[in-house]
């Protein structure tokens, strides 16, 4: 167990950040899943910018790697275009 005040605070702040990161990552994954399951092109085109925005935010905060975000956006764009 940590002894220093700053170490205790670091533990608390790390936990808070971890919970928020997990929530945002899971929300983005669910949005991607919803977009992939969509068969209606209009609805997919409406959802696509929202999902891309989520992925960009995750990449900006280093929750996911920039290249992973780019790969996911690319595959989702292909999916929307193929509908």
What would the pLDDT profile of 16-56 be if each residue is shown by its tens digit? Answer: 999 999 999 999 999 999 999 999 999 999 999 999 999 99
Does the CA dihedral 72-78-80-83 come out positive or negative?
negative
pLDDT at 3 over 90: no
Ranges of each domain in the chain? 5-82
pTM of the predicted model, to two decimals? 0.83
Do 48 and 76 form a contact (C-beta atoms < 8 A)?
A: yes
Fold of 5-82: Methane Monooxygenase Hydroxylase; Chain G, domain 1 (1.20.58)
CA 19 → CA 12, 22, 45, 53, 64, distances in Å? 11, 5, 30, 20, 15
């Amino acid at each position: 167990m940590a002894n220093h005040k700053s170490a205790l605070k670091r533990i608390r702040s790390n936990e808070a950040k971890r919970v928020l990161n997990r929530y945002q990552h899971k929300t983005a994954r669910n949005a991607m899943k919803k977009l992939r399951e969509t068969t209606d092109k209009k609805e997919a085109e409406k959802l696509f910018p929202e999902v891309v925005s989520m992925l960009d935010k995750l990449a900006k905060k280093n929750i996911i790697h920039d290249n992973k975000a780019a790969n996911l956006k690319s595959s989702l764009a292909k999916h929307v275009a193929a509908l």
